[in-house]
Chain A
Amino acid sequence: KNEVEQSPQNLTAQEGEFITINCSYSVGISALHWLQQHPGGGIVSLFMLSSGKKKHGRLIATINIQEKHSSLHITASHPRDSAVYICAVRSYTDKLIFGTGTRLQVFP
């Protein structure tokens, strides 16, 4: 079993829909990252969380340390949100462990 599990693996949505991507992890962590990988391959860091909730534009990330779970929400989704979203956790040994990603496609 992977130390970082994401669900779903693939997600399709209509423009305007509310989207949730989940990340569960099994190790102790000091921080959790949400990353966005565009079709060209480059990765952009969206959020870094150690507790609570963060919001940036239409993106919201939450983390529940006790349940070892994080969610990434996208409100009013748009075709330009189509990308692979990757969850990564930083363990107490300072190792970064990546999930396999969730591929999101938003159709007009």
Chain B
Amino acid sequence: DGGITQSPKYLFRKEGQNVTLSCEQNLNHDAMYWYRQDPGQGLRLIYYSQIVNDFQKGDIAEGYSVSREKKESFPLTVTSAQKNPTAFYLCASSIDLRGWSYGYTFGSGTRLTVV
């Protein structure tokens, strides 16, 4: 079955460490997205990519970095510059940026905690 796989499900980070969250899709979707979810807030867009080797900053990109070397993969690195990284991170994909035509597919998320 096609879908999005996020790993790990739970991740603990020490102060000053960079950590990388994995997102893989086998849906042949061009567009991929990273969102952050905090309690009481709607999902906020961190980065998005509409094609391999191209990505754009979202609303809260500071302290994060991404790469898109393969169509299937869109890893997110939470750097030490992100001051408040504890959150739930969701990866999503759509056929293209105008995903409203066909909808979005979401992963199961990664919960990152700073210890």
Size category, B interface: 20 to 34
Contact indicator B104/A100 (Cβ below 8 Å): no
For residue A96, give the distance in angstroms from its CB to the closest CB of chain B: 7
- The interface size bin for chain A is 20 to 34
Closest to A47 in B: B103
Tell me the bound Cα distance from A40 to B103 in angstroms: 21
Q: Report if A96-B109 is in contact (Cβ < 8 Å); known contacts: A33-B104, A45-B104.
A: no
28 A-B pairs with CB atoms under 8 Å apart are A2-B42, A4-B42, A30-B100, A31-B100, A33-B103, A40-B108, A41-B88, A41-B90, A41-B109, A42-B107, A42-B109, A43-B90, A43-B106, A44-B106, A45-B103, A45-B106, A48-B100, A50-B100, A86-B43, A90-B99, A94-B97, A94-B98, A96-B45, A96-B104, A98-B42, A98-B43, A98-B44, A100-B41
